[in-house]
Amino acid sequence: MSPMETFQPTGGLTGAVLDGRYRVGALIATGGMSAVYCGVDMRLDRPVALKVMDSRYAGDEQFLTRFQREARAVARLKDPGLVSVYDQGGGTRGGEPPYLAMELVDGGTLRELLRERGPMPPHAVAAVLRPVLSGLAAAHRAGLVHRDVKPENVLISDDGEVKIADFGLVRALAEAKITATSVILGTAAYLAPEQVSAGDTDARGDVYAAGVLVFELLTDSTPFTGDNPLAVAYQRLDHDVPPPSSRIAGVPRQFDELVACATSRDPAGRFADAAEMGEELDAIAVQLGLPRFTVPSPRNSAMHQSASVVDAPTTNLAGPRHTRVMERDEAPALEPDDADGDSDFDDEHWPVTGRFAGIDLEEFYWARQRARRVLLFWVIAVLTLAALAGAGAWTLGTNLHNLL
């Protein structure tokens, strides 16, 4: 038996073993707060997806407590529209980072499908939305709220299964207040008004995000635009989501009404939860005679790209895999908006209120300042080295005749 690799905190994770059980395979995608890898549960000999949080969360007791609590709660949920959570572990300072072992969905994300195919017809929208609402409904019945419904968190398998992932992570991250900027700003287009103003929500916040998702699937755009994520988020406090038919011709009136109800600025005017929204969707599908449809997985997904780097896979999943290791800078980003945790907005665009999504704006300011200081340090270091090299070359040139 070959010796088992242990986790190396300073090196790449591919080939490492977490908790003596999960062998880390090819890197699928990275983001500001985590990386996702293919993996293998060597104890049960089954493929898994490993969502490994950034090492800065290791040792953060507040985050780890919430992380573990949310993982246990989500693991109890059962619905075909949910990505199953199998296990969680890690988190010791200086050791393994926190991670989740989850169901591996071979396919891609809804975001990747939108990029490939553009806006969807109503019957395809219904096929995507139905399992998403079913999964959310199961969570809502258990008293859980997702808080981060968006195309990046909707997975589509090669068999056409649609599942929603990443339950509980936003709440755990926001409570830890370590990456509030990257998490919240990456979700700004889908936040409910009460999330923007107060920072908290209930099942109706997920309903609002689902309504924005319907709008985007039909039109290939989100309802609000702005110079920066904060400006986009704050627009929903004073403006209703427009009907999808105002952006693209041919959208049935029933879908305009579905979006209007789901995205009411007053939570009391929305569907009470995902189950009620799902019932309305089913009624619309019957009324319009929408055909059943199998949602295709994206062809050029991060999952498929990571699988293509396997040079000589073996049938022994628990044994060594001969792969070309995909570096972090090669992997597709998990979060397309401000995945590095830094924001590209200017001070004059900040809202007048002192809080955004329940978080002090000073936290966003200091996160941006830290990123700028790091960049400035490296610029100064490079310029200093260049100046020293130039001075050395000049000195050598002027004294070359003396040396000869």
The residues carrying an active-site annotation are 148
Helix or strand or coil: residue 346? coil
Pairing of strands 34-41, 22-30: antiparallel
User: How far is it, in rounded angstroms, from Cα 47 to Cα 279?
Assistant: 34
Residues 339 and 229: beta-carbon distance below 8 Å:
no
Helix or strand or coil: residue 350? coil
Residues 168 and 139: beta-carbon distance below 8 Å:
no
User: How far is it, in rounded angstroms, from Cα 78 to Cα 83?
Assistant: 9
Residues 359 and 174: beta-carbon distance below 8 Å:
yes
Tokens of 111: 């975001």
User: How far is it, in rounded angstroms, from Cα 43 to Cα 266?
Assistant: 49
Helix or strand or coil: residue 270? coil
User: Cα–Cα distances in Å, from 324 out to 27, 206, 287, 302?
Assistant: 10, 39, 51, 15
Q: What is the amino acid identity at position 339?
A: A
Of the candidates 202, 316, 204, 186, the residue with the CA atom closest to the CA atom of residue 262: 204
